[in-house]
């Protein structure tokens, strides 16, 4: 049996009396596209926060290519090749779109940050423009973040996440706060760009149509536990998932 | 876009013009300009921190340390070379900042400001209580040598002006280059969003620590040059009002360019000199009113006068 690219073993996390994760075991193979579903408060974001070092689990182990990364800080996990986007886009609001990407490229381009090499080198600007084009953001190049619509911010957040060509990308609700008309094309743009990098993708999503369309496998959370894990169709038709995650009524209507 | 010839040539021409002006201007103006350049280095150090979202109300700590290191270099170590005294001031300030940086880079906003102030006041307290260092009176320094040459009188003052202007020019150029690098520009990114910086793979505290040490080294250089220029050192160099004055000048200057702190520092010294000459009992009021006007009409500081304004777009 090959070593999975990411594996969590018995992850526990509690915030006072609230149990956010209870014995969470997830195993992800390289280049899989995994959808993560669950109602609000089910433990999806806690899972992503633990894997990316934002939260330290109370118990359990996180392994990346067999290496224990449980206690590592976010920057070291990022350097190893696990990157994430955020539910609320984490950008540099006082800078332009281009400068946001240039900072991301500058940090990703070397382990030791240069004291002298100009951030705005022609080669780096060209790379930044290429990345913006991949995500359909070229027209926003010189705009400040504060004037961008939510969908564009989401795309930029994800584009910045991928500059270091990570091995695993965790997307926290990439389509939340985006209009129904924009959701599908934005998700297609994101996944097309990510597939080109051959990254393993895990995305948290509430829209089951998006999950069904893009995920090959689904992990369903409820009350801090994984209640189903397997091929998309199988999980989405699972009785527990229908009851606790999708909602029986909603499912019946579909 | 400016060509590289203009980008490099214009500052160099300005520097040559400043050196030439130093030989032509009256003694009092040369001294004010020299002090403005030395203090401009401290304001430059504050600008470096302010770009990263940190405001230090204790930069007098490194200004004072730089001055006292230079003074003790002369009196204890018998160092007479001005460049060596400058290096001593920079090294001592940088070394202390490296140690304190481990603590201070954990804090932000008012906590960073007050903690930096606290450290400067600890130094002030130690200096005031130390009779070996002249207590509240401080002590005097003899005129140093310049690259081995012992000048006296006007020649020494000219040499000191050239040294100070050269150090200020070199520091501004190096800092300009640094601020345009990835590590330098990280300050803006940290000010905007620390979480994102960490999730891009950079250490926020590491980057701030480097900036803090660089900032202290600049302030130490300013202190050492001031000590050599005035020939006297006293604990007021580390007092909180001195630190406050640097913050005042930093706001007056703006953070748009490495040239801004020197401009702001010169304007401040001139306003203070004339205000004191014409209104010795209320000169602070004139300085305060100037600050008020700058904040209201030039929120980006004096440097905003030189920034290119966006062109108006006309509809056809």
**Which CATH topology does A6-89+166-253 take?**
Rossmann fold (3.40.50)
Closest residue of chain A to B186, computed from CA coordinates: A103
Per CB-CB distance under 8 Å, the chain B contacts of A106 are 182, 185-186
Per CB-CB distance under 8 Å, the chain B contacts of A143 are none
Q: Are B152 and B88 within 8 A, CB to CB?
A: no
Q: Are B269 and B39 within 8 A, CB to CB?
A: yes
The confidence score (pLDDT) of residue A1 equals 60
Instruction: Give the C-alpha separation, B196 to A176, whole Å.
Output: 19
What the block records as the tokens of B82 is 């001005």
B7 touches chain A (CB under 8 A): no
The confidence score (pLDDT) of residue B128 equals 92
B199 touches chain A (CB under 8 A): yes
Q: Are A226 and A247 within 8 A, CB to CB?
A: no
Count of CB atoms situated within 10 Å of the CB of A100: 27
Q: Do A75 and B181 touch (CB under 8 A)?
A: no
The confidence score (pLDDT) of residue B314 equals 43
Per CB-CB distance under 8 Å, the chain B contacts of A84 are 199
Instruction: Give the C-alpha separation, B70 to B210, whole Å.
Output: 23
Q: Which of B178, B182, B203 to mutate to test the interface with A (most CBs of A within 10 A)?
A: B182
pLDDT in tens, chain A (254 residues): 678 899 999 999 999 888 888 898 999 999 999 999 998 888 999 999 999 999 999 999 999 999 999 989 999 999 999 999 998 999 999 999 999 999 999 998 866 656 677 888 898 999 999 999 988 899 999 999 999 988 889 889 999 998 888 999 999 998 887 888 888 888 888 888 888 888 999 999 988 888 988 899 999 999 999 998 989 998 888 888 888 778 744 544 44
* 3-state SS, residue A45: helix
Q: Burial, A127: exposed, middle or buried (Cβ in 10 Å; 0-12, 13-18, 19+)?
A: middle
B8 touches chain A (CB under 8 A): no
B102 touches chain A (CB under 8 A): no
Instruction: Give the C-alpha separation, B258 to B253, whole Å.
Output: 10
Closest residue of chain A to B187, computed from CA coordinates: A103
B111 touches chain A (CB under 8 A): no
pLDDT, tens digit (0-9, with 9 covering 90-100), for B254-273: 888 899 999 999 999 999 99
Q: Do A94 and B192 touch (CB under 8 A)?
A: yes
Instruction: Give the C-alpha separation, A131 to B20, whole Å.
Output: 49
Q: Burial, A144: exposed, middle or buried (Cβ in 10 Å; 0-12, 13-18, 19+)?
A: middle
Instruction: State the nearest Cα–Cα gap between A234 and chain B, in angstroms.
Output: 34
Helices vs. strands in chain A: H and E counts, helices first: 10, 10
Q: Position of tokens 């001195």?
A: B242
Q: Which of B201, B204, B208 to mutate to test the interface with A (most CBs of A within 10 A)?
A: B201
Helix (H) or strand (E) holding B182: helix B182-192
The confidence score (pLDDT) of residue A180 equals 80
Instruction: Give the C-alpha separation, B80 to B61, whole Å.
Output: 24
Strand arrangement of the beta sheet that strand A6-15 belongs to = A18-28, A6-15, A59-64, A67-68
Count of CB atoms situated within 10 Å of the CB of A142: 9
Per CB-CB distance under 8 Å, the chain A contacts of B199 are 52, 74-75, 78, 83-84, 90, 161
Instruction: State the nearest Cα–Cα gap between B247 and chain A, in angstroms.
Output: 22
Instruction: Give the C-alpha separation, A146 to B199, whole Å.
Output: 21
Of A112, A106, A160, the C-alpha closest to B182 is A106
Instruction: Give the C-alpha separation, B38 to B44, whole Å.
Output: 10
Q: Position of tokens 């209640």?
A: A227
Instruction: State the nearest Cα–Cα gap between B56 and chain A, in angstroms.
Output: 22
Spans of all domains in chain B? 16-240
Residues of A with CB under 8 A from a CB of B: 52, 73-75, 78-79, 83-84, 90-95, 102-104, 106-110, 113-120, 160-161, 163-164
Helix (H) or strand (E) holding B27: helix B27-51
Instruction: State the nearest Cα–Cα gap between B50 and chain A, in angstroms.
Output: 14
Q: Are B68 and B138 within 8 A, CB to CB?
A: no
pLDDT, tens digit (0-9, with 9 covering 90-100), for B69-115: 999 999 888 898 999 999 999 999 999 999 999 999 999 999 999 99
Per CB-CB distance under 8 Å, the chain A contacts of B207 are 113
Q: Burial, A181: exposed, middle or buried (Cβ in 10 Å; 0-12, 13-18, 19+)?
A: exposed
* 3-state SS, residue A250: helix
Q: Which of B199, B202, B207, B208 to mutate to test the interface with A (most CBs of A within 10 A)?
A: B199
What the block records as the tokens of A39 is 């109602």
| Interface predicted TM-score (ipTM) of this complex, two decimals | 0.89
B205 touches chain A (CB under 8 A): no
Pair type for strands A200-204 and A168-172: parallel
Instruction: Give the C-alpha separation, B248 to B259, whole Å.
Output: 16
The confidence score (pLDDT) of residue B6 equals 65
Q: Which positions 207-226 of B are in contact with A (Cβ < 8 Å)? A: 207
Q: How far apart are the first and last CA of chain B?
A: 25
Of A12, A106, A22, the C-alpha closest to A60 is A12
Angle (nearest 5°) at CA B50 between B48 and B54: 115
pLDDT in tens, chain B (316 residues): 455 666 678 888 988 999 999 899 999 999 999 999 999 999 999 999 999 999 999 999 999 999 999 999 998 888 989 999 999 999 999 999 999 999 999 999 999 999 999 999 999 999 999 888 888 888 988 888 888 888 888 898 999 999 999 999 999 999 999 998 988 999 999 999 999 999 999 999 999 999 999 999 999 999 999 999 999 999 999 999 999 999 999 999 988 889 999 999 999 999 999 988 888 888 888 888 888 888 888 888 888 888 765 544 444 3
What the block records as the tokens of A162 is 């991928």
Closest residue of chain A to B177, computed from CA coordinates: A116
The confidence score (pLDDT) of residue A114 equals 61
Per CB-CB distance under 8 Å, the chain B contacts of A91 are 192-193, 196
Q: Position of tokens 């009396």?
A: A17
Q: Are A97 and A140 within 8 A, CB to CB?
A: yes
Instruction: Give the C-alpha separation, B243 to A57, whole Å.
Output: 44
Of B64, B68, B61, the C-alpha closest to B104 is B61
């Amino acid at each position: 049996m090959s070593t999975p690219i990411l594996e969590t073993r018995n992850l526990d996390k509690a915030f006072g009396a609230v149990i956010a994760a209870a014995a969470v075991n997830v195993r992800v193979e390289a280049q899989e596209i995994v959808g993560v579903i669950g109602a609000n408060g089910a433990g999806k974001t806690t899972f992503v926060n633990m894997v990316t070092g934002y939260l330290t689990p109370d118990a359990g182990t996180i392994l990346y290519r067999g290496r224990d990364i449980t206690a590592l800080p976010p920057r070291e996990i990022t350097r190893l090749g696990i990157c994430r986007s955020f539910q609320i886009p984490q950008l540099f609001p006082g800078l332009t779109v281009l400068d946001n990407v240039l900072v991301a490229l500058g940090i990703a381009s070397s382990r030791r940050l240069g004291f002298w090499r100009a951030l705005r080198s022609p080669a780096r600007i060209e790379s930044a423009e290429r990345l913006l084009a991949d995500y359909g953001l070229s027209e926003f190049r010189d705009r400040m973040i504060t004037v961008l619509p939510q969908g564009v911010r989401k795309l930029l957040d994800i584009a910045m996440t991928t500059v270091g060509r990570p091995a695993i990308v965790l997307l926290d609700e990439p389509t939340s706060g985006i209009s129904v008309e924009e959701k599908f094309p934005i998700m297609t743009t994101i996944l097309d760009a990510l597939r080109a990098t051959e990254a393993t993708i895990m995305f948290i999503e509430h829209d089951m149509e998006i999950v069904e369309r893009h995920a090959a496998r689904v992990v369903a959370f409820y009350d801090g536990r994984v209640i189903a894990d397997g091929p998309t169709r199988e999980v989405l038709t699972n009785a527990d998932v229908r009851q606790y995650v999708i909602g029986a009524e909603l499912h019946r209507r579909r | 876009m400016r060509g590289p010839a203009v980008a490099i040539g214009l500052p160099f021409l300005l520097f040559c013009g400043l050196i030439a002006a130093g030989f032509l201007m009256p003694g009092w103006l040369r001294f004010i300009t020299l002090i403005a350049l030395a203090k401009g280095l401290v304001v430059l150090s504050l600008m470096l921190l302010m770009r990263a979202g940190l405001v230090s109300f204790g930069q007098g700590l490194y200004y004072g340390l730089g001055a006292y290191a230079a003074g003790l270099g002369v009196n204890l170590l018998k160092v007479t070379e001005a460049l060596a005294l400058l290096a001593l001031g920079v090294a001592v300030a940088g070394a202390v900042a490296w140690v304190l940086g481990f603590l201070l880079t954990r804090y932000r906003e008012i906590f960073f400001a007050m903690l930096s102030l606290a450290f400067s006041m600890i130094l002030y307290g130690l200096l005031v209580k130390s009779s070996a260092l002249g207590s509240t009176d401080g002590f005097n320094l003899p005129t140093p040598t310049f690259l081995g040459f012992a000048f006296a009188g006007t020649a020494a003052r000219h040499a000191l002006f050239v040294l100070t202007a050269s150090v200020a020019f070199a520091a501004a150029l190096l800092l300009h280059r640094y601020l345009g690098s990835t590590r330098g520009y990280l300050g803006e990114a940290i000010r905007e969003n620390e979480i994102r910086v960490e999730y891009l793979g950079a250490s926020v505290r590491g980057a701030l620590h480097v900036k803090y040490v660089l900032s202290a080294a600049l302030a130490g250089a300013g202190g050492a040059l001031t000590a050599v220029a005035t020939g006297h050192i006293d604990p007021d160099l580390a007092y909180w009002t001195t630190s406050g004055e640097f913050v005042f000048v930093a706001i007056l200057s703006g953070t748009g360019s490495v040239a801004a702190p020197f401009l702001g520092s010169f304007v401040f010294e001139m306003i203070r000199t004339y205000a004191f000459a014409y209104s010795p009992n209320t000169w602070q009021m004139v300085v305060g009113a100037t600050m008020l006007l700058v904040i209201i009409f030039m929120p980006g500081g004096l440097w905003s006068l030189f920034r290119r304004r966006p062109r108006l777009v006309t509809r056809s």
